[in-house]
Structure 1
Amino acid sequence: MHHPLVIISLVVLLVRLGLWLNKRRKATGGVDAPAAGLVPRAELVELGSEPTDPVARAALDAAKAGDWRPAAAYLSGGEGDWSTRYARMNPFSELAASDDGWLRQWRAEQPYNPVAAQVLTDALVQRAWEIRTAKYASQVTREQAMGFRQVLAEAAEASQTAIQLAPAEDPNAWVVQQAIAMGQGWSNERYRALWAEIVAREPHHFTAHTAALQYWCEKWLGSNELMHGFADKAIAGAPAGSLMTVLKLRAYWEQVLRDRSSASALYRSAEYTAAVDAALADLAAADPAHPGLVASRGWIAHALIENGRPAQALELFRGMGREIAGPWTYYGNPAAVFDSARRKAARAAA
């Protein structure tokens, strides 16, 4: 027969264990990620930070080792799909921004290669923004501002070379200029001329439209009216599956950033619900190889949660795998806020 004190000790231990498990359950959102079909939080990475394509990874590793040829072959592929070709460039531009030995060798051996010229432009743009940092203008030091302007001027010069080398049908040499336009504060008239060059070559370039929405938002060189007008026009002329509808969701998010008091009413409004439904239909019609697929899933998942339909977002989170995309990438700890949103969707679905 067990001694009463032993039984009491066991009961206390079980109670403490129960309290710890309950606390742990609350801390993790009460959801086991793998059981919900989600990648564990520890494995999450931001969209574009690591190539998911084995060919891209191999080419990036070769570039890190100083061999530019696999990168040249990979970046020149895409069968004329300019949005895809542009999306492929980012990790290589990021590498060149910090280690450009392989790119300098590529340009030395192929000085008239248009893709190499575009990578150089984009690398300089990224280097310029790294110098400036993402801080508000009032928080940027004088030295950072000077360095930013200097390197951005180098990027602008490189972009002219890229344009001269680009085939007539290639919009990407102009697309890469959009970040320069924002950094240098181009006028609306000058930006519209740039935009005309892009859409004349590719009317529904995904990354170009995303960048243009930023230009036209209030925090840069536009307004809520200009931003929404741009999004509405892009959507009106786009075919199903283009994912242009996601621009409207992003426009609403930018609007809320400027006026958080309007968030609750706006996100539950009939017009926002209609925008979410249109984006869902657009996503269903999209090519599985669309370069903006993961990013679009992220923005639509966020929109569904804000619209009071978190359970519908679960499949989108599952489809995103280990990549964090959508507005969560703008937070200081993207993995934490992204994982919290995923768990909310999983709880709602359960």
Structure 2
Amino acid sequence: MTSTTNGMTGGGPTSASGPTFDPYDNTPELIPLRDAAQAGNWPAVRAYFAGLDSVDRLASASSLLADTAGVENFLERAVAESPGDPLPRTLLAERYVCIGWDIRSGARAQHVSQNQFTQFHDWLRRAEQSLIEICAEHPSYAPAWTARLMTARGLQLGQAEARRRYDRLSAHHPHHYRAQTQLLQQLCPKWSGSWEAAHGFARECATAAPDGSNSGALVALAHIERWLDLKIGEDAAYMRGATVRDDLRNAAQVSVLHPAHRPDWNSIGAHNAFAFAFSLGNHWQDAAPHFAFLGDRASEFPWQYVPDKKSSFLKSRKAALEARGGGTR
């Protein structure tokens, strides 16, 4: 076992009990946000967000806060006390989106009941109304536009409207990783898109972004979505193909494996996307540098797509690091 680094530098530690899928374990800088949210301490939450120095960090923190049960209670009070402040309004809207998606579940539409859809849409409409007002008042406010990509998808407003929202955001904040991952979902066939559109957008993100950006991981995510959509047997053959392997290699080299890459809060998710995609195709040597970076730092997405995420991560990491010749760390 080696454990020499912490936080966002490479070579994450490993342990006998790993991996961990807890984002707060993987990114300790987020722990004060979790503690403040669980305590219902809005002043501490607001102070935490005030200290964030990038829209990407703001997006990560917003996403985690929205996934915290009960935060709507103090956020509703915060909105009532400061109705002109876009932060509590946006955080509350995203929490409503999260509540709605939890009710809908991640199942395909044919497996979602009418009652689930009704509640889902009700929560999303509440969020959308607030987000429309925020974006009108603050046209460059990335968190609100990102949340509106989720409401556009859930309310089935169509491909053109989702792309319009993304373009409005990217005009102010190009290469915004979380927004890119949201639009990629919209462009997949399960949301009335196409594989041509999904892969095209992913490659566009990888090509347009500066060297070392996380955006290259969109290429991996698009292939993972394609794999999910294929029949058993066809899915493995697809990921093992040389065309997919080379596409993943090229995307990894210009993004998280590029010398210019500076690890940040999105790097763990990006490396996990590549590690997962290469593992699906048994491209173990290609997966190795991603697992070496990660150590025990797994992410729920996309490992949630396999039945036993922890076991799959461990087996894949072992195979990858052995293929590299470095043992199991």
TM-score band (shorter)? 0.7 to 0.9
* 1:288 aligned onto 2:262: yes
| TM-score for the superposition, normalised by structure 2 | 0.85
CA distance in 2, matches of 1:37, 1:173: 33
Identity of aligned residues (%): 24
Gaps (5+ residues) in structure 2?
A: 4-10
Q: Is contact 2:239-2:245 (8 Å) kept?
A: yes
Kindly tell me: are residues 275 and 57 of structure 1, through their superposed partners in 2, closer, same or farther at Cα, counting changes over 3 Å?
same
Distance in 2 (CA, whole Å) between partners of 1:234 and 1:314 is 24
For the structure 1 residues 131 and 49, does the alpha-carbon distance in structure 2 shift closer, same or farther, using more than 3 Å as the test?
farther
Q: Deviations over 1:298-324 (max 9, x none)?
A: 121123334543145344224224332
Post-superposition shift, 1:126?
Answer: 0.3
Counterpart position of 1:3: none
Alignment partner, residue 302 of structure 1: 276
The alpha carbon displacement at 1:58 in A equals: 2.1
Deviations 1:292-347 (A, max 9, x none): 20111112112333454314534422422433225212334322222222222244
Q: Note closer, same or farther for the CA distance 1:33–1:346 as it changes in structure 2 (3 Å cut).
A: farther
Counterpart of 2:61, as a letter, is: R
CA distance in 1, matches of 2:62, 2:12: 30
Residues 263 and 43 from structure 1, CA distance in 2 versus in 1: closer, same or farther, beyond 3 angstroms? closer
Contact in 2 for aligned 1:245/1:279 (Cα 8 Å): yes
Structure 1 position 131 matched with structure 2 position 103? yes
Distance 1:223 1:131, change over 3 A: same
2:304 aligns with one of 317, 329, 344: 329
- Which runs of structure 2 are paired with 1:165-204 in the superposition (5 Å)? 165-166=137-138, 168-204=139-175
Taking the aligned partners of 1:147 and 1:190, their CA distance within structure 2 comes to 22
Structure 1 residues without counterparts, runs of 5 or longer: 1-31
Distance, in Å, in 2 between the alignment partners of 1:40 and 1:51 is 13
Scaled by the length of structure 1, the TM-score of the pair is 0.80
* Match for residue 241 of structure 2 among 269, 294, 298: 269
The separation in 2 between residues aligned to 1:165 and 1:68, in whole angstroms, is: 23
Distance 2:23 2:35 in 1: 15
Equivalent of 1:279 in 248, 251, 255: 251
Amino acid at match of 1:291: W
Please identify the structure whose Cα radius of gyration is greater.
1
**How many pairs does the alignment contain?**
314
Which range moves more in the overlay, 179-188 or 36-45? 36-45
Q: 1:38 to 1:118 in 2, by over 3 A?
A: same
After TM superposition, list the pairs within 5 Å mapping 1:23-42 onto structure 2: 39-40=14-15, 42=17
Provide, for residues 71-108 of structure 1, a one-character-per-residue CA deviation record: whole Å limited to 9, x for no partner.
112223333x212211111221122x534232233223
Q: Which residue of 2 aligns with 1:249?
A: 220
